[in-house]
Structure 1
């Protein structure tokens, strides 16, 4: 049920490039009627004209120099270049990036979720301290690339209607499954994924974040969560060739859901599945982009009323290839003095506790155990958080509507965005070494260092 995908139905070979070829073999006989001095002059002018055209074409290419400033390798490192630095106008159409005659998958990205593209986005590998120079050309036809990210969202308005794909949704506090008598959404809400792992958000009022373990790099089937008639059905807790839902969420906020700690009270964004009325007056969901190398969705929470306070909250969720993780950016307006943003990490089935790993730039909360349903498989999960906002962590109480979690406490300003990452490594994924706790910890540390490394970008227009 995904929509607006950029796919590559016919795999294009590597090395796609635009060549400008000019023939300098001038036919002297064609100007034989001219005196010899004029023949030479005519030939010279023609050669100069063609050479000038060639130089003009060469200037149409923008040279971009990229340098990894750190002594670490970077794999599928995200690079985002503001379009204003590339002298971009809508008439320039589509970007084509090349490096040593190889094409680099890229897309125009709307990073501030305002409906207009503002960055050129792609991923690249870098060796320690490596510098690369790539070429950018604007082309009239959109290049086609293998799809490595996706967002799937489907909904229905009545129990007897089939689910239809949709780009956005607005739900009120009354539109809860317990009150409606049926589940409106395919997989309880949107699913987003890359070539490594998949996640889903419970848009049905719970606002928790779940994990799908993927066994293959391919995007999961469109009918996950649906039966043959298009009705909502739970068919994703059964192992399929692509994988399955592996992470129990319960009454937690899953991997990266959030709430607020105010006056020592943990306040959940939303409700439990047994409730009929949400504490969020209106929730608006929208798919911002879905492309070969980046997919993004945005959710606005209007009038989140909890424990006598009213907040306005929003989050923007993105994913790109190569990482067993997703990025989330959250802001909350209405925070009172002493309020703390709480980012949840479900600890259901965890018997090994949590480890706090710190650096100057980031903090990671890491757990590793048989975290999956019935403790059947080993999995690691983690949060990567900015050190500048991190205070400490606590464990949620055993009762209430926000339980079964470790909570990372972030000190953020009122209506100030904060970005963090949810990480998941399942032993049956494409990386079986995730079964080893030390390996998963090493992966989280390496990923965090990569995410917090800024590529040096120099542009020659």
Structure 2
């Protein structure tokens, strides 16, 4: 009898050890992500990027869970090299001042997916060759080689501009497809507000909001229409794409650039990372339209803004620069249409510059006014200068 009892106890102990071993194996597939806000300000929404660790490499069914609330988060798995396997994961979170939070990355089937509220970028063949992108806050577009060729050939309907156009939206869901569909059925559709916003921002041959150029002898030479595009990632958390352009600048001093642009959920800005050849400097800027607005520049925070009346509303266009690339600012005031600009000058480091371009439109009611927008610009500048601290174990 005693022998049988000892045997049962041994079996029970072995079973417990087996369960513990299985539990340890399961837990070993979990990665703890620790994210800290190093600043004394709250960060209402921020994108976190985490490299997928070796023990989860090759797994395409991954989830991220908030360790404290145990809630699954919306994520984006990113495969940049095209091998069908993700290299890193993106998710978003909010942080209080000096707050540290933890998340669990593990294998599992996702239950949280994006709806109509997402980032989105695409080529638009139904409108010549526009390229457009958006998130829940803002939308933008640029113009392609066919649109430039139409202008050069004297064909009506083309656009010759390297500037960035702003689409002013009131809603958080995607509008690109529906606005273009409306415009195909009824030309000029997106120039009228049907309750979602509209495109009434004039670019012309200016820089628009964040186009690029190069300065020689005090003269601005702007880049022209993009010549080729490549969508790298396409939402829901972030969208990234490349835009190539033809050389620009004075003869014998042409500059080449390759733009990598990205837009995250919750941001009023597009981030531009530009590879530059032919010059150590590049210039970006904002068109001043009819020059009835107010230019504001904070050189400590490295941002410049043009706040102006806009078709019965108000519009603030801004450039925010990482300080290491900032090389000062200037204004160009001209009586010639589309030639007046607030210019932010950039110095290339290892052949690259970085900046953020975006806007706030009073019709969207995202900001109470100019002062609140400028406070936001200071926060964006601080986030650029003091990024979140991310570690994994």
Secondary structure of the structure 2 residue equivalent to 1:458: strand
| Structure 1: segments with no counterpart, 5+ residues | 1-31, 156-162, 164-182, 272-279
> Is 1:384–2:384 an aligned residue pair?
no
Q: 1:88 to 1:346 in 2, by over 3 A?
A: farther
Q: 1:224 to 1:77 in 2, by over 3 A?
A: same
Q: 1:309 to 1:401 in 2, by over 3 A?
A: farther
Q: Map of 1:291-310 to 2, 5 A cutoff?
A: 291-304=235-248, 306-310=250-254
Q: Map of 1:148-167 to 2, 5 A cutoff?
A: 148-155=118-125, 163=126
1:115 and 1:208 map into 2 onto residues whose CA distance is: 30
Matching residue of 1:144: 113
Secondary structure of the structure 2 residue equivalent to 1:448: helix
Secondary structure of the structure 2 residue equivalent to 1:54: helix
Offset at residue 292 of structure 1 (A): 1.4
> Is 1:365–2:304 an aligned residue pair?
yes
Give the length in aligned residue pairs.
Answer: 373
1:106-136 per-position Cα deviation (integer Å, ceiling 9, x unaligned): 21236xx655654322221000000111100
TM-score normalised by structure 1 residue count: 0.74
Give the conservation status (yes or no) of the 8 Å contact 1:301–1:313: yes
Q: Map of 1:24-103 to 2, 5 A cutoff?
A: 35-83=4-52, 86-87=53-54, 90-99=57-66, 100-103=69-72
Q: Which of residues 246, 256, 270 is equivalent to 2:224?
A: 270
1:368 and 1:200 map into 2 onto residues whose CA distance is: 21
Matching residue of 1:244: 198
Secondary structure of the structure 1 residue equivalent to 2:275: strand
Answer with 1 or 2: which has the greater Rg.
1
Point out the structure with the larger helix share. 2
Offset at residue 302 of structure 1 (A): 4.8
Q: Map of 1:72-221 to 2, 5 A cutoff?
A: 72-83=41-52, 86-87=53-54, 90-99=57-66, 100-109=69-78, 115=82, 117-139=86-108, 144-146=113-115, 147-155=117-125, 163=126, 184-185=128-129, 189-203=130-144, 204-205=147-148, 206-221=161-176
Q: 1:402 to 1:262 in 2, by over 3 A?
A: farther
| Structure 2: segments with no counterpart, 5+ residues | 149-160
Q: 1:401 to 1:216 in 2, by over 3 A?
A: closer
Offset at residue 227 of structure 1 (A): 4.9
Q: Map of 1:336-351 to 2, 5 A cutoff?
A: 340-351=281-292
Secondary structure of the structure 2 residue equivalent to 1:91: coil
Q: 1:199 to 1:148 in 2, by over 3 A?
A: same
Aligned-residue Cα RMSD (Å) equals 2.6
Secondary structure of the structure 1 residue equivalent to 2:201: coil
